Structure 1
Amino acid sequence: MEHRGLDAYGYFEREGSLGQVQDEFREVVAAARERIVEAYGRRLHSAYLYGSVPRGAARPGRSDLDLLLALNHEPAAEDRDTAEVLARGLDEQFAEIDGVGLLLFGKDTLLSEAERFDLGWFLACLCTPLLGADLAEHLPRYRPDSLLARETNGDLAERLPAWRAKAQTASTPEELRKLSRAWARQLVRTGFTLVMPRWGGWTSDLTESAEVFGLYYPERAAQMRAAAAVALDPVADPAVLRAYVEDLGPWLADEYTARHGTKTPRSA
């Protein structure tokens, strides 16, 4: 049987490691580690890498650097301002990356029952420890089942109204490319988790995700392959955004709800 990101017992194997970081990205990762400590000090519980860099699949000058920071308290406005400055500084200094994504959470939120099968799973399975004690030690093991599908991406229907509003107002090439990249990634990942329990495995590779989706929905395969291409090479085409919010997105949201239900509401 294929490996498919699971161990011999059918549980997720944690993807990525610091050892897989390509030589081109080692300097920026080292700088991120140093600056996170300087910026947050004792406020920081732990820090993690995720995405293509720790998977060894990043493309110099094209890929972003993705970080998750767990604080000892819930993030305040000051913490978010610090994150923006930190991310901007790394992005401006290192040509090897195209943007920095920085997620900021309190450790209690990451370990909460409400986030057990969303942020908790994300940290335990898709994040690589960079600094501090690993919170994954306090989280369970996970399988690619319908509960995980529901709690990770079962909120696409809720996202679509905001997407439609942004699609109507986006006008500059920079805005259009940013939205096309973000929405295409979300659609491909949602398409993959829709079929994940049937496929019985995991991949973070967007091209492979689209191909797996196409095995179960051949009539939508071409659209998902095209979305995977946009996720890697964003476009400044308003027609692409319209297709996402008027066709692929609504269909995918309806199919997801029918098969897995909707994500459990979070308290405000």
Structure 2
Amino acid sequence: MVLEKVIKEINIQSEYKSFVEEYTACLLSEFSGKVHSIYMCGSIPKGTAKPFKSDADFTIVCERPEDIDYDRVSCLKDQILQKYRLVTKVDTVICSLDDVRSKPNEWGFWIKIICVCIHGTDIGEEVPPILISPEFILDLNSDTQEAVDRVRGFLSNANDETLKSRYIKGYSKRLIRALYTLVLEDTGVWQDDITKMKSAISDYCNIDSALVDYLYACYLDSNVDVEEFLGIAEEVYSYIEKALTALMEESSVIK
């Protein structure tokens, strides 16, 4: 089964258009000649963003990521957020043309399926059709353990309540996303709506639904006890880890 693009056409709401245009122009001006293309994903390009609730997700594709000074990107993000307060946060990911071309089930998937091109030539069109398979699901989760370990460490050491809330929300989303990858062969589509992800997990995954409900509740309202959250998160990740190990063994047998 071939995955289809999440956002088939750009539909940016009027209140976000000047924000997207200005931030894009700032990136192109700051890194003149170094940017191949710029992409967005999430609610803003889909036309479902909610002022003062939705964030913005950009991806810069370039020949050499080291040419893009991330400190300067951070400064540009801070400046644009001061002007456009209806946007809660701006995330900007940087990857190379080679990443997209050589890692079709990772960066290729991100650019071809999740994102939509808002400037430049869409490198995602060079990525071959992406087939849902055990190998693809394993590739999608190749960095899950690293990401989970990193966020767990941040959360365990965070003293600021705002940071704790952000890490809990991010950790919850990451685990729900990983659980969703386990049911991709059942759904046949990639969902970027976390509510729909949760629904599909409930329909097709045999994990205790109470654990998924808890993560979803934490994603919506992350004002929870950190120790309790970490315990539940560990239980969920243990399930994911076992499922991925079984998938790896199954894939090895098929080969």
Whether TM-score is above 0.5 comes out as yes
Map of 1:1-80 to 2, 5 A cutoff? 10-16=1-7, 19-76=10-67, 79-80=69-70
Does 2:96 match 1:122?
no
Instruction: Tell me the SS of whatever aligns to 1:41.
Output: coil
Q: Is the 8 A contact 2:61 2:94 kept in 1?
A: yes
Residue by residue over 1:60-106, the C-alpha shift from the partner in whole angstroms, topping out at 9 and shown as x without a partner, is: 11111000001122324x62122111222222221111111000122
Instruction: Tell me the SS of whatever aligns to 1:49.
Output: strand
- Paired positions, count: 249
| Cα distance in 2, alignment partners of residues 215 and 136 from structure 1 | 31
Runs of 4+ in 1 over 4 A off after TM superposition: none
| Cα distance in 1, alignment partners of residues 5 and 121 from structure 2 | 16
| Cα distance in 1, alignment partners of residues 48 and 241 from structure 2 | 29
User: Which deviates more from structure 2 when the two are superposed, residues 231-240 or residues 97-106?
Assistant: 231-240
Q: Give the 3 Å change call, closer, same or farther, for CA 258–157 of structure 1 in structure 2.
A: farther
The Cα shift of 1:17 comes to 5.4
Map of 1:79-228 to 2, 5 A cutoff? 79-112=69-102, 115-228=103-216
| Cα distance in 1, alignment partners of residues 46 and 228 from structure 2 | 29
Does 2:236 match 1:248?
yes
User: Which deviates more from structure 2 when the two are superposed, residues 168-177 or residues 148-157?
Assistant: 148-157
Q: Give the 3 Å change call, closer, same or farther, for CA 45–178 of structure 1 in structure 2.
A: same
Q: Is the 8 A contact 1:15 1:55 kept in 2?
A: no
| Cα distance in 2, alignment partners of residues 159 and 73 from structure 1 | 23
| Cα distance in 1, alignment partners of residues 189 and 149 from structure 2 | 31
User: Which deviates more from structure 2 when the two are superposed, residues 36-45 or residues 136-145?
Assistant: 136-145
The Cα shift of 1:185 comes to 1.2
Using the size of structure 2 for normalisation, the TM-score is 0.88
Gaps of 5+ in 1: 1-9, 262-268
Residue by residue over 1:183-203, the C-alpha shift from the partner in whole angstroms, topping out at 9 and shown as x without a partner, is: 111111101001111222221
Residue by residue over 1:10-51, the C-alpha shift from the partner in whole angstroms, topping out at 9 and shown as x without a partner, is: 422222256322223222112122212111110111000112
Q: Is the 8 A contact 2:3 2:132 kept in 1?
A: yes
% of aligned pairs identical?
Answer: 20
Q: Is the 8 A contact 2:35 2:62 kept in 1?
A: yes
Instruction: Tell me the SS of whatever aligns to 1:131.
Output: strand
Aligned-partner residue type, residue 13 of structure 1 = E
The Cα shift of 1:141 comes to 1.1
* RMSD, aligned CA: 2.1
| Cα distance in 2, alignment partners of residues 21 and 260 from structure 1 | 40
The Cα shift of 1:233 comes to 4.1
| Cα distance in 1, alignment partners of residues 154 and 123 from structure 2 | 35
| Cα distance in 2, alignment partners of residues 91 and 131 from structure 1 | 21
| Cα distance in 1, alignment partners of residues 7 and 200 from structure 2 | 21
Q: Is the 8 A contact 2:133 2:185 kept in 1?
A: yes
